[in-house]
Amino acid sequence: MPRAIAITGGICDGKSTVLAELTERGHSTLQADEVAREVLSSPGLLEQLTDTFGPGAFDSGRPNAEFLRAEVLPDPALRRRLNELTHACTLQRILEVVRAAQAPVFVEVPLLIETCSQRFFDEVWVAVSSPAEQRRRLTERLQGDAESAERILGAQLPTRAKIPFADKILRTLPPVSSVKSEVDRALAPLLRG
């Protein structure tokens, strides 16, 4: 079976930037969030989620990110329930893609450690910026809503708790050229072997 390499880290730590660099170099890449969206559209799961969270959790059959951020994220029990319903299906689909691949597959998995899924991957790469940069990026993504950024960061496992699981740590502070160097350094042993 081809190697599966998980890329994880905290929100706005640069996971997607690392994945984009790998894609640009011609490697097979996958985003767990995209797979989850695909899985969420399956009728059986959609029905279970609607029963659990109500019709407001979805908009035209797609997850309502605003509702999930406001109603589910702050509540640990609801967050756990959402994870229970979606993560096993998402992981199963990711592993199907990896088994069908001819080369290593790099998978961005934001909640890898939180779901104890690291054992399904050959390597774990952790993208790390800094708490200040992470906060800045997230506030920018939320169009200046610093309060929501703090609430989201407070509800998540800190990146420093993911580092002990890392086979490789990729520092993703600006400029982008330094991220390119980090990706090259991380890839070197794979390309040799």
Domain that holds residue 13: 4-192
Q: What percentage of residues in the chain have a pLDDT greater than 90?
A: 63
Q: Which of 110, 113, 98, 91 is nearest to 35 (CA)?
A: 91
- pLDDT value of position 42: 79
CATH number, position 35: 3.40.50.300
Q: What is the pLDDT of residues 98-111, one digit of tens each?
A: 999 999 999 999 99
Rounded Cα–Cα distance for residues 8 and 13 (Å):
9
Beta carbons within 8 Å of 175's beta carbon, 6+ residues apart: none
Question: For 122-163, what is each residue's pLDDT tens digit?
Answer: 999 999 999 999 999 999 999 999 999 999 999 899 999 999
Number of domains composing the chain = 1
Contact between 9 and 15 (Cβ < 8 Å): yes
Confidence at residue 54, expressed as pLDDT on a 0 to 100 scale: 86
pLDDT at 1: 55
User: Which residues on neighbouring strands pair with residue 130, listed in sequence order?
Assistant: none
Residues 6+ apart with CB under 8 A from 17: 127, 172, 176, 179
The answer, yes or no, to whether the previous bond of 104 is cis (omega within 30 of 0) is no
Please give the mean pLDDT across all residues of the chain. Answer: 90
Q: How confident is the model at residue 83 (pLDDT cuts 50, 70, 90)?
A: confident
Are residues 109 and 8 in contact, defined by beta-carbon separation less than 8 angstroms? yes
Region 44-66 average pLDDT? 79
